[in-house]
Structure 1
Amino acid sequence: MQLYNKLSAKERAAIIDEAGTERLTLSFYQYAQIGNPEIFRNHLYIAWDDLDVLGRIYVAHEGINAQLSVPAPNFLKFKAHLDSVSFLKDVRLNIAREQDMKSFLKLKVKVRKKILADGLNDHTFDVTNKGVHVGAKEFNELISREDTVLVDMRNHYESEIGHFKGAITPDVDTFRDSLDIIEEDLKEHKEDKNLVMYCTGGIRCEKASAYYKHKGFKKVFQLEGGIIEYARQVEEEGLENKFLGKNFVFDHRRAEPISDDVISNCHQCGKPCDTHVNCANEACHLLFIQCEDCAKAMDSCCSNECKEINSLPYEEQKALRKGKMNSNKIFKKGRSEVLKYKQ
């Protein structure tokens, strides 16, 4: 039985176009004790492949983290399958504000050591002793108080295009990097301040809240469902939207607007812009912000060097890439030395 994707992204895109069926982009996570992640992974793949589910799903002993796309006509069957799994019954599903038929083009269900790469030794603290979850209304009330510190638990390239008013936005590349920085910066307020955190869908705050309680913070809160759920509640309940800009998402859309504000700049010319792209030179693939004018002038590349390489015949480009890895450029995500404006 096939337990892995065999179609290319191009082939899958053609199938989606031909079907013409509306698809829903959504995400969810759940911490749980999974005895055999490999068996659970195979169970999910068989069930979801049959429903034409696409996406990126991580399974580990500690639970599941999923970002996926479901054909709208199959949503109820998908939900019924989730409810048939004891620890996924009635799990909160974060539905994307903007739908894209091609947000995901493959079904990838992978077994990992953790569902979130956090670099933590979970055995040193109780991951279930988490902070207080708050909805959009209570969140707005909390962050308006003088005894509250609001912290963005995402990485620099995420907060750069959108964040809550007045939030601390650590200049970090990874979730793990932010934990110690925040603790050091707020160490004098472990007892007298409300520590309120938010992230994309809630999974990072779930672990961080338990970590900070372990570190001695007394009043720890997290935004229930993250920015995605906040935007939904704000719209449905007519609340004030205190988020500025776009919410970075980890699918082909890259971002969805939460407000009309553009708070970031093109990494090449400095013009107001919040569109993330990957350098067209596949050997680089740097994630950075580029406006339409620079995209035309640079052939969608991050530097003149990449522009020259990208203009070469495909076979020559492949030969240059052979045996070479530019992961340092990928990791820097918009802070590479080739981006002169950012310097």
Structure 2
Amino acid sequence: MSKPVRWGILGAAKFAREQMGPAIHAAHGAELAALATSSPQKAAPFLAFAPGLEVFDSYEALLADPSIDAVYIPLPNHLHVEWALKAMDAGKHVLVEKPATLKEAEFDELIAKRDATGVLAAEAYMIVQHPQWQRARELVQSGALGTLRHVSGKFSYDNRQEMENIRNRPETGGGALRDIGVYVLGSTRFVTGEEPVDFSAQISWENGVDVLTNIQAQFPGFLYTAYVSTRMQPWQEMVFHGDKGVLRLTAPFNPRVFGEARLELHQSSGVDAVPGQVLVERFPQADHYKLQVEAFGASLRDGTAYSCPLEFSRGTQAMIDRIFEVATEL
């Protein structure tokens, strides 16, 4: 595929309006060509930055347009699998917002449909496209921290004033684990290349959704602890702690919103180490949403494997399923 990938979006979600729509519009080798929404009011902000956008009044109508190559699906969580399958049946490449499914087993449906139709389908797990995470993986796997002993993750925000938000509704697959747990869990798997072997967890529930989860897991080479919450002061941080160094990511998941993407490498031993010195790498301009669209398009053009396949995302969903199974109540 040498021409720009022509993208359509199913639904005028706020996240699509503020993040992914502009990212598709700005990405090299991509064209934001269509939006499906029955609301002219919701379409207006998209037309403001992409005036050539064609607006369809139904998802089916957009999927029936042969000029659309790929679709981005930002619908409520419980609708992801249904519309991803329909999009693949229509011959469209699919980027579906996380979590792509609500259960690990549902990934088998997506993978089977992907393989049967020959399209590219992936979860919109954008952080693995960010250079700070690619660098973090390089540092950890090259031994810059020595032997990795412990990983900790923190991600929280407070949406208690938005009880009608889909993230606060059990019927739409809401809750902190599905919304932001994918980040503290999947990023650890991405950086270390390891899978957990044992779990314990504690969950605080409110109106049928998890609003605070503490997680403890044993990986083959290290201990893991994390928490996610939708009822706490906004915070995010990932720390990888080895016997010869510590790597800290200060804005790991929402860089440029929560703060500057920055890696801090703390080392006290080694040839180049200076006691008390912190080596800092900054990534102020990187836009992982735009990079995600460009990586997706590059895979379509040259046939290389996409860096975050459905098989990887299934592993993170398996962790989420297991946490729900073993968790006690806070």
Q: Establish whether TM, by shorter chain, passes 0.5.
A: no
Q: TM-score, normalised by structure 1?
A: 0.29
User: By percentage of residues, which structure has more strand?
Assistant: 2
Q: TM-score, normalised by structure 2?
A: 0.30
Structure of higher RCO (CA pairs closer than 8 Å, 6+ residues apart): 2
